[in-house]
Amino acid sequence: MAALPSMNPDEIDTVTRIAQSADEGPVFMLNLNKYRDEAGFPDGTLYRDYMSVLGRLLLEVGGRILWRTAVLGHVVGTQAVDEAIGIWYPSHQSFLNLMRAPSSGENMRLRSLAVEQADLHRCRPY
């Protein structure tokens, strides 16, 4: 399994336990992304390529982007974010499968070029 920068091993363990339990079911991930200047968010080629491969990767594991929106600023707090993306997965296992799916390597390559900082929050199914 590929490792993500700033990955929280305790949370991955929790997701793995859920995937192997009777509580297995859909999960919603809130993705908060800050892009590198080189990505050209929201219209740059690198950003569009990353989104294209992410869409293909999600299809491979049965997930889908429910919505995405540019973040215009932060009223409270200090986290600078360019985009919020809401992604639904049919199961916790499908989320774990991201790292082994056919498009995973290309997704990770583009992600490393385009994304400066990403925070993923596991949420109740949407």
pLDDT digits (tens, 9 = 90+) for 19-59: 999 989 999 999 999 999 999 999 999 999 999 999 999 99
- pTM of the predicted model, to two decimals? 0.91
CA 15 and chain centroid, separation: 14
Domains of the chain by start residue, with CATH: 24-123 (3.30.70.100)
C-alpha to C-alpha distances, 97 to 75, 81, 83, nearest whole angstrom: 35, 26, 24
The one-character DSSP state at 4 is P
Q: Which residues pair with 33 in a beta bridge?
A: 83, 118
Using the Cα atoms of residue 63, residue 11, residue 71 and residue 37 in order, give the sign of their dihedral.
Answer: negative
